[in-house]
């Protein structure tokens, strides 16, 4: 029962392969690791690992390379998320604390993450799922036109200018009344709950004001929908090109896929929605539901409750390091967005 040793060998193969990006053979393994056995024994174990589908040989007389399943085993059972150094933590903290607004937080986060991991960083904008209305503003902007501004607790702002079909000059009282009503109904509520509640507002105003009220309600629904349309930001795509030995033909396919933000959103959504808060999710190669990304791995987690962030790179990735960076960055981002 040399099960333990075999796994130790798998771990060594993964580590060496990630480092050198070259298939690793039995001899090379012995040079770099004190396994306490001979090359022949390593070869026997490697044969078993290959049978189990954890490693594979690109061709007869080359070394072995981990399969997706091998990486999976490595991530699940053979690696610990290595804690960052104190210096790294303070560097992260300092860099992120310089951010002035939400956009800046997102930009800085993705840059930070891509430079820490040398992979492509992906971050979802805080989403509507747990967001709420902070304030709604109504501003007459001349004649029959009214500006409707929706401000969300995550700091996002959405605005619309609508035509209410009625001259609002000198109608400050009406506007103020409406403003008070919509704010009274919506502020603090989850974005998802607001559309329903707006119905009540329209019903409650004087009949002659209904058209104006319902125009406002329509604009707000529209703005809310826009908020629901989530966004995602990338950084470090150049890192993909740098390791283009890992993407024989499909580099441009991967780059294409990265411009499909809808796909990335779904990906981040599914990976970051795990119940366990501190958990970092990993999707490896063929595990990926979206075909063009089958040659890549994604390491992601959620920051706080409102969205996900992570990195994407070749399956040949330094998982422990990526997981540590993603977790630490998510931690600080959550802290900043809460404050």
- Binding footprint of a second copy on the chain (CB under 8 A): 100-101, 134-135, 137, 139, 141, 147, 149, 151, 155, 157-160, 222, 226, 235-242, 244, 251-253, 255-256, 258-259
Give ∠ CA 105-275-299 in degrees, rounded to 5.
55
Question: At closest approach, how far in Å is the CB of 255 from a second copy?
Answer: 3
Q: Considering only CA atoms, which of 220, 159, 217, 162 is closest in space to residue 209?
A: 217
Nearer to a second copy, 18 or 240 (CB): 240
- Max Cα-Cα span within the chain: 92
**Which option in DNA, a second copy, none does residue 256 bind, with CB closer than 5 to 8 A by kind?**
a second copy
Shortest Cβ distance from residue 61 to DNA (Å)? 3
Which is nearer to DNA, 59 or 94 (by Cβ)?
Answer: 59
Q: Among candidates 335, 331, 337, which has minimal Cα distance to 88? A: 331
The token pair that represents 27 in the structure block: 């001899």
Tell me, what DSSP letter sits at residue 316?
Answer: S
Q: CA-CA-CA-CA torsion for 159, 160, 161, 165, nearest 10 degrees?
A: -130
Binding site for DNA (CB under 7 A): 1-2, 5, 23-28, 36-41, 43-44, 46-47, 50, 57, 59-64
Q: Which residues pair with residue 122 across a beta bridge?
A: 234, 310
Shortest spacing between CB 47 and DNA, in angstroms: 4
In a 13 Å sphere around the CA of 38, the CA atoms on its Cβ side amount to 2
Closest approach, Cβ 136 to a second copy, in A, equals 10
CA–CA distance, 148 with 169 (Å, rounded to integer): 16
How far is C-alpha 199 from the geometric centre of its chain's CA atoms? 34
And the tokens for 317? Answer: 């990735």
Question: Smallest distance from the beta carbon of 117 to a second copy, in angstroms?
Answer: 15
| Closer CB to a second copy, 264 or 280, in the complex | 264
Residue 7 site contact among DNA, a second copy, none (CB < 5 to 8 Å, cut-off depends on kind): none
Could you tell me if residue 65 is left (phi over 0), alpha (psi between -120 and 50 degrees) or otherwise beta? beta
259 binds, among DNA, a second copy, none (CB under 5 to 8 A by kind): a second copy
Judged by beta carbon, residue 141 or residue 199, the one nearer a second copy is: 141
Q: Which of DNA, a second copy, none does residue 193 bind (CB under 5 to 8 Å by kind)?
A: none
Residue nearer to DNA on the CB measure, 1 or 173: 1
Q: Considering the complex, what minimum distance in angstroms separates the CB of residue 331 from a second copy? A: 24
CA dist 236 and 112 (Å) reads: 10
Residue closer to a second copy by CB (options 235, 296) is 235
Q: Residue 98, Cβ neighbours under 10 Å: how many? A: 9
28 interacts with, out of a second copy, DNA, none, CB within 5 to 8 A per kind: DNA
Q: Which is nearer to DNA, 25 or 313 (CB)?
A: 25
């Amino acid at each position: 029962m040399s099960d333990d040793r075999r796994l130790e060998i798998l771990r060594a193969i993964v580590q060496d392969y990630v480092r050198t990006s070259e298939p690793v053979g039995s001899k090379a393994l012995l040079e770099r690791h004190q396994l306490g056995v001979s090359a022949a024994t390593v070869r026997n174990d490697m044969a078993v690992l290959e049978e189990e589908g954890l490693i594979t040989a690109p061709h007869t007389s080359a070394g072995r390379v981990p399969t997706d399943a091998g990486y999976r085993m490595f991530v699940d059972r053979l690696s610990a998320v290595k804690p960052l150094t104190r210096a790294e933590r303070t560097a992260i903290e300092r860099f992120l604390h310089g951010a002035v607004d939400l956009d800046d937080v997102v930009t800085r986060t993705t840059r930070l993450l891509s430079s820490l991991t040398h992979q492509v960083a992906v971050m979802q904008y805080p989403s509507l799922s747990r967001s709420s209305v902070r304030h709604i503003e109504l501003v007459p902007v001349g004649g029959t036109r009214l500006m409707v501004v929706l401000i969300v607790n995550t700091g996002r702002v959405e605005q619309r200018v609508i035509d209410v079909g009625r001259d609002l000059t000198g109608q400050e009282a009406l506007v103020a009344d409406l403003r008070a009503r919509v704010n009274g109904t919506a502020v603090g509520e989850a974005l998802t709950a607001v559309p329903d509640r707006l119905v009540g507002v329209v019903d409650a105003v004087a009949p002659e004001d209904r058209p104006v009220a319902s125009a406002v309600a329509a604009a707000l629904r529209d703005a809310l929908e826009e908020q629901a349309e989530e966004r995602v930001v990338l950084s470090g795509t150049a890192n993909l090109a740098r390791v283009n030995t890992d993407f024989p033909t499909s580099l441009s396919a991967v780059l294409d896929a990265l411009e499909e933000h809808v796909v990335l959103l779904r990906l981040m959504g599914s990976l970051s929605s795990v119940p366990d808060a501190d958990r970092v999710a990993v999707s490896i190669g063929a595990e990926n539901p979206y075909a063009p990304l089958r040659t890549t791995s994604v390491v992601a987690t959620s920051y706080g409750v409102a969205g996900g962030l992570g990195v994407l790179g070749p399956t040949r990735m330094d998982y422990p390091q990526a997981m540590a960076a993603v977790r630490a960055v998510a931690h600080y981002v959550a802290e900043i967005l809460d404050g």
